[in-house]
């Protein structure tokens, strides 16, 4: 008989509407080609990616990154001299007002992008062009990317490695374990994340005089409860299945597999509980911009309790076994270079870096951050979300390399008009990893 050598076409999984074992291991969108694991086994965040895919074709790209050019110097200067003063006035009149401004490619045209919550309110206050570039007003609100822990948004990473869910003990919010590093002076093994993830939310937004040595848990408390509930349900099903299999001959393969799956699930439950206490905050740096010092920082260091068992493998970035081995200044990145991140909520996602920084404002747990400059990345080809709530603290890496370039702290979901109607593009904001390393006196984890 002639063998059929035709390969089965690869298809993307359908969007799931109910939580099930498939929900647990497969996030919406692109996943590992390995498919679903055996019952009771676990996958790390690198094996799943919660792509929040848009429904319009990839060729209808609206918002692209833009390369730096001397042609746009006048427009770039106009942002500081003509546009920002008006933004300041609006913020003084409305405490909820936020903005994000940069030079981008909008529908094939280099443009000045202004993202505000009420575009019509701002449109009449500004000229239609500056420095020869048109002004584009889009709707969106800039915010941090920490969030109340919501199991339905988590990438279901149960391992203590980059991308894992973390929070202060007892806190209802969750963020992301960004990267394992070590202190230069003591060589102590630590985990890097954002300060607004590793500190309790102040009753009144303000920058604390010093950090609180909070106990950090991994996964976050709310996520742990859901993980245990899922495992308990799985164990109950496996026990019922094993009881049925016990009547079969002892050497039957199905019986042995049932016993192993049940033992694995019980071990995973015990491991979750024993490793829940992750570490203690040992350093932090928070600075909100001022007119005299327009610098923004939001980073924290957690000394890991179980440091002896932390290896560089926990800094695995992607499927190609890249492990973070250095820091790269994002100022050296060129337009359209691809970046990758692993977050608590969206797993492994990619985006291209914009040639121009964004100047933005947002409300943080520590107060209002005005006129801070931030690097930005977004997925311009398929309009997927690079990050969402719960991804604060995730490290940003250069795709295909082993270098970290940034620490994710916020973003803005922008509404754009297309021929298929309004759609949303996520603009993810991150701070320089080189600056963070200097502020916290850290270096890469030794091999």
In a domain, 8, yes or no: no
The answer to whether residue 86 scores a pLDDT higher than 50 is yes
Reported residue count of the chain is 447
Structural domains of the chain, count? 2
> Listing from the earlier edge strand, what are the strands of the sheet with 173-176?
147-148, 173-176, 165-168, 215-217, 277-287, 297-304, 189-193, 179-183, 442-444
Exposed/middle/buried for residue 186 (C-beta within 10 Å: 0-12, 13-18, 19+) = exposed
In angstroms, the CA 421 to CA 291 distance is: 40
Q: Are 82 and 101 in contact (CB under 8 A)?
A: no
First to last CA, the chain: 53
Determine, yes or no, domain membership for 1: no
Is the model's pLDDT at 136 over the cut of 50? yes
265 and 360: one domain?
no
pTM of this prediction exceeds 0.85: no
Q: Please tell me whether residues 164 and 303 are part of one structural domain.
A: yes
Name 264's Cβ contacts closer than 8 Å, sequence gap at least 6. Answer: 40, 41
Q: What percent of the chain stands above pLDDT 70?
A: 82
296/325 same-domain check: yes
- pLDDT at position 227 is 86
Query: What is the C-alpha to C-alpha distance for residues 212 and 224, in angstroms, rounded to an integer?
Result: 23
Task: Count Cβ atoms within 10 A of the Cβ of residue 363 and give its class: 0-12 exposed, 13-18 middle, 19 or more buried.
Answer: middle
Does one domain contain both 205 and 261? no
pLDDT for the residue 60: 67
pLDDT at 276: 87
| Rounded average pLDDT over 396-421 | 91
Q: What percent of the chain has pLDDT over 90?
A: 59
User: Collapsing DSSP states into helix, strand and coil, what is residue 172?
Assistant: coil
Across the range 247-271, mean pLDDT stands at: 84
Kindly state whether residues 37 and 146 are assigned to the same domain. yes
Q: What integer is the mean pLDDT of 267-285? A: 92
Does residue 417 have a cis peptide bond before it, meaning omega lies within 30 degrees of 0?
Answer: no
Q: In this structure, what are the phi and psi dihedrals at residue 312, rounded to the nearest 5 degrees?
A: -65, -20
Count of CB atoms within 10 A of residue 24's CB? 20
Same domain, 121 and 45: yes
DSSP string, 194-221: -HHHHSPPPSS----SS---PEEESS-H
Domain that holds residue 242: 220-275
Instruction: State the pLDDT confidence band at 423, using cuts at 50, 70 and 90.
Output: confident
Same domain, 114 and 190: yes
Q: Are 112 and 134 in contact (CB under 8 A)?
A: yes
The reply to whether 94 falls in a domain is: yes
Least confident among 70-84, 202-216, 388-402:
202-216
Is residue 140 included in any domain, yes or no? yes
* 131 and 209 belong to one structural domain: yes
Contact 427, 410 (CB under 8 A): no
Q: How far apart are CA 27 and CA 158, in angstroms?
A: 14
> What value does the mean pLDDT take over residues 173-179?
94
Q: Mean pLDDT, to the nearest integer, of 133-156?
A: 79
236 and 166 within one domain: no
Domain membership flag for residue 182: yes
Please check whether residue 300 is in contact with residue 439, taking contact to mean a CB–CB distance below 8 angstroms.
no
> Could you tell me if residue 5 is inside a domain?
no
H or E stretch including 225? helix 221-245
Q: Could you tell me if 229 and 206 lie in one domain?
A: no
415 has a pLDDT exceeding 90: no
Q: Are residues 314 and 208 in the same domain?
A: yes
The gap from C-alpha 134 to its chain's centroid, in whole angstroms, comes to 31
Query: Looking at residue 149, what is its pLDDT?
Result: 56
């Amino acid at each position: 008989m002639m063998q059929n050598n035709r390969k089965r076409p690869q298809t993307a999984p359908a969007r799931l509407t109910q939580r099930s074992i498939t929900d647990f291991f497969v996030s919406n969108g692109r996943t590992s080609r390995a498919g679903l694991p055996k019952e009771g086994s676990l996958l790390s965040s690198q094996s799943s990616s919660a792509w929040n895919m848009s429904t319009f074709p990839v060729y209808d790209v609206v918002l692209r990154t833009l390369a730096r050019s001397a042609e746009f110097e006048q427009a770039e200067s106009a942002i500081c001299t003509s546009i920002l003063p008006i933004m300041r006035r609006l913020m003084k009149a409305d405490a909820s007002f936020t903005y994000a401004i940069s030079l981008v490619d909008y529908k094939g045209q280099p443009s000045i992008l202004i993202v505000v919550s009420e575009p019509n309110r701002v449109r009449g206050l500004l000229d239609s062009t500056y420095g020869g570039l048109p002004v584009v007003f889009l709707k969106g609100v800039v915010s941090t990317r920490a969030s109340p822990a919501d199991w339905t948004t988590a990438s279901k990473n149960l391992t203590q490695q980059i991308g894992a869910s973390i929070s202060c003990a007892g806190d209802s919010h969750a963020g992301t374990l960004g990267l394992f590093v070590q202190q230069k002076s003591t060589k102590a093994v630590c985990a890097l994340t954002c300060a607004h993830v590793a500190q309790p939310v102040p009753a009144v937004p303000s920058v604390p005089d010093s950090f609180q040595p909070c106990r950090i848990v991994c996964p976050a408390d709310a996520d742990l409860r859901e993980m245990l509930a899922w495992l308990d349900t799985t164990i109950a099903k496996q026990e019922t299945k094993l009881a049925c299999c016990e009547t079969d001959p002892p050497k039957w393969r199905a019986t042995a597999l049932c016993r192993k799956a049940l033992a694995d699930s019980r071990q995973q439950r015990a491991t979750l509980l024993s490793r829940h206490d992750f570490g203690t905050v040992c350093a932090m740096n928070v600075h909100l911009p001022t007119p005299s010092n327009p610098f923004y920082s939001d980073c924290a260091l957690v000394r890991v309790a179980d440091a002896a068992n932390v290896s560089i493998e926990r800094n695995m970035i992607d499927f190609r076994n890249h492990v973070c081995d250095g820091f790269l200044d994002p100022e050296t990145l060129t337009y359209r270079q691809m970046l990758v991140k692993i977050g608590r909520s969206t797993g492994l996602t990619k985006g291209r870096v914009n040639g121009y920084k964004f100047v933005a404002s947002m409300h943080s747990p520590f107060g209002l951050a005005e006129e801070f400059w931030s690097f930005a990345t977004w997925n311009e080809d398929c309009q997927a979300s690079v990050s969402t709530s719960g991804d604060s603290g995730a490290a940003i890496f250069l795709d295909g390399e082993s270098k970290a370039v940034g620490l994710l702290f916020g973003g803005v979901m922008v509404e754009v008009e297309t021929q298929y109607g309004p759609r949303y593009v996520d603009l993810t904001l991150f701070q320089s990893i080189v600056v963070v390393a200097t502020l916290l006196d850290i270096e890469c984890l030794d091999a």
